[in-house]
Structure 1
Amino acid sequence: MLQSMTGFGSARLDTDQYSISVEIRSLNSKSMDMSVRLPRFLSDKEYEIRNLVQKALVRGKVSVTVDYVKNKAQKAKSTINKELLNTYYRELNEAADVVGGAKNDLFRLALHMPDVLLQDQVEEVNGEAEWEHVLPLVQAALKNIICFRNDEGKALSAEIMSYIDKIRILLAEIDKHDPVRIEQIRNRIRNHMNELVSAEHFDENRLEQEMIYYIEKLDIAEEKVRLINHLHYFTETVYLPEPTGKKLGFISQEIGREINTIGSKANDSVIQHHVVEMKEELEKIKEQINNIL
């Protein structure tokens, strides 16, 4: 079954001390184009994360984000040096008495004097210990994005197969009309033969060459057979378990080649109309294949 390159997966862990979240997003790309954003304490794990994502997602424009946030209780706290605050306040009060200044803002001034407010040290994060929690989250996010891609792939499969079925229907219409076209060609050949036979200088070689021209240049039997075979092969490939996006791209090129040849050899307005519709369906297929893994 097809798998889309578009997807999103996330996982989260909340504890009393911190919250960890992992998000993985992917879009279509011809190769693996990955960006990874990590907390500083996990910077040495980037290579391992890249390997995990590469193996799981294979191809696409992928962004991986790991966020680590400490809870409020774990953030740095401020403590007041009360003894120093009292000293500053008393000195400011005495200075106000000396100069006759206002005393209504002395507490705020004392509170912001040097070394009155002290910041507690935040405990350093242990990268190796936290990696034991981050790794399962990365694996869970990968599992979720793969499920997302699979669901998108199912929708893409149904859409693409509807286009293939439309090409089959149009090919059946061409096959139905082909006897009429062949009869028209026979009539043209008969008219040419009558003209040649009635001519004063009848040239048997010219007649033979003209017959060969019509047979080789206007017969589309082989192209019809090859086209139906390509359509069968395309359908089989869609339901293979491994990634088949590139293979389907190659098959669609072969389908297009046969459609173009039928159009150029048919020399018939009805068939040309069907060929244009087939090309339109094939373009829709090619657009969707760009997003298939």
Structure 2
Amino acid sequence: MVKSMTGYGRAQQMLGGRDITVEIKSVNHRFFEFSARVPRAYGYLEERLKSYVQGQISRGKVEVGVTILTVEGQNAVVEANRELAGAYVDALRKIGEEAGLKDDLTLSTLTRFSDIFTVRREAEDEEEIWAAVRTVADEAVNRFVAMRAAEGERLRADLLGRLESIGRGVALVKEQSPRTVEAYRERLAAKIREVLADRQIDETRIVTEAAIFADRVAVDEETVRLESHLVQFREILGSDYPIGRKLDFLVQEINREANTIGSKAQDVAVAQVVVDIKSDVEKIREQIQNIE
């Protein structure tokens, strides 16, 4: 399956009293490059996320963002300073006695003194946090991969169309090349007749010169290799493993054969076909830069 290196996926879930969001996106890159944005308290997640994502993606510049919001009160322990509370009670009663006031102290009275209470968060279990983040990351990555696959399918369809166009061009070159040699032989014979006028023409010399020309402009080997490369290209497009680098190498070989054919071209029609082939090759080169 052809996969694009460009993709995006996002997922959000409430797990274990935590609102967790994972966002993943990627763009083109020759190799695998990873960066993550995680809350400072959860910095240990970065390496785990990198290993996890690298198991799903082989190439591309990948950015992962994680937010973790803990529901109020979760993992919190409230401790009371009993000695301080007792001191407040004693002080209030003493003031009441001295002022002749009724003793109406209640528990709610003490809640006004915030320094009596200390809120402390319990240490969080890293494995539990990672399990929750991994669950959300699975969903985000699935959406991310689905987007890359959809874009990859569009790239595949475009590339197959380009390959068909190049194939038609190669067929035209193969058809036109023999005509080029024959046209050269006729031009050579006409020129010799013009120069020699009424004298006898050495047909053997014309045949020899035509044979030398035919050898010089022969593109049989190049067209055979080019057709072979096109077959390989199609086979690779049907593979399940990452194919971007292989296609990059193969398109260089296709371009090399096209250049050789162009350098041998002695015919305007063949030269134009080569220009069209190279145009398709360049468009293919641009497209495969976005393939994993």
**TM bracket, shorter-chain basis:** 0.7 to 0.9
1:111 maps to which residue?
Answer: none
Tell me: CA distance 1:117–1:75, structure 2 relative to 1, closer, same or farther (3 Å): farther
2:17 maps to which residue?
Answer: 17
Could you tell me how far apart the structure 2 residues matched to 1:232 and 1:186 are? 35
Q: Please, which runs of 5 or more residues in structure 1 have no aligned partner?
A: 77-82, 88-113
Q: Does 1:145 align with 2:126?
A: no
Tell me how far 1:230 sits from its aligned partner: 1.2
Q: Deviations over 1:240-260 (max 9, x none)?
A: 111111111111111111111
1:70 maps to which residue?
Answer: 70
Q: Please, which runs of 5 or more residues in structure 2 have no aligned partner?
A: 77-87, 93-112
Which residue type is aligned with residue 22 of structure 2? V
Which residue type is aligned with residue 236 of structure 1? E
In the TM superposition, 1:198-237 aligns within 5 A as 210-211=209-210, 213-237=212-236
2:49 maps to which residue?
Answer: 49
SS, match of residue 26 in structure 1:
strand
Which residue type is aligned with residue 220 of structure 2? A
Higher deviation after alignment, 187-196 or 125-134: 187-196
Runs of 4+, deviation exceeding 6 Å: 114-119, 195-198, 206-209
Length-normalised TM-score, structure 1 = 0.76
Q: Deviations over 1:44-81 (max 9, x none)?
A: 232222111112101100001111013456699xxxxx
Length-normalised TM-score, structure 2 = 0.76
1:107 maps to which residue?
Answer: none
The number of aligned residues is 264
Tell me how far 1:280 sits from its aligned partner: 0.9
Which residue type is aligned with residue 47 of structure 1? E
Could you tell me how far apart the structure 2 residues matched to 1:191 and 1:117 are? 115
Could you tell me how far apart the structure 2 residues matched to 1:175 and 1:117 are? 93
Could you tell me how far apart the structure 1 residues matched to 2:290 and 2:252 are? 16
Could you tell me how far apart the structure 2 residues matched to 1:189 and 1:233 are? 41
SS, match of residue 56 in structure 2:
helix
Q: Identity of aligned pairs, percent?
A: 34
Tell me how far 1:121 sits from its aligned partner: 4.6
Could you tell me how far apart the structure 2 residues matched to 1:197 and 1:249 are? 55
In the TM superposition, 1:70-109 aligns within 5 A as 70-71=70-71
Tell me how far 1:167 sits from its aligned partner: 1.0
Tell me: CA distance 1:226–1:274, structure 2 relative to 1, closer, same or farther (3 Å): same
Tell me how far 1:125 sits from its aligned partner: 4.1
Which residue type is aligned with residue 270 of structure 2? I
Tell me: CA distance 1:16–1:274, structure 2 relative to 1, closer, same or farther (3 Å): same
1:278 maps to which residue?
Answer: 277
Tell me how far 1:119 sits from its aligned partner: 7.9
Tell me how far 1:143 sits from its aligned partner: 2.5
SS, match of residue 26 in structure 2:
strand
SS, match of residue 62 in structure 2:
strand
Higher deviation after alignment, 147-156 or 132-141: 132-141
Higher deviation after alignment, 274-283 or 140-149: 140-149
Q: Does 1:60 align with 2:93?
A: no
Contact 1:16 1:71 in 2 (8 A): no
Q: Does 1:256 align with 2:255?
A: yes
Tell me how far 1:124 sits from its aligned partner: 5.2
Q: Over aligned residue pairs, what C-alpha RMSD do you find?
A: 3.6
Which residue type is aligned with residue 130 of structure 1? I
Contact 2:36 2:63 in 1 (8 A): yes
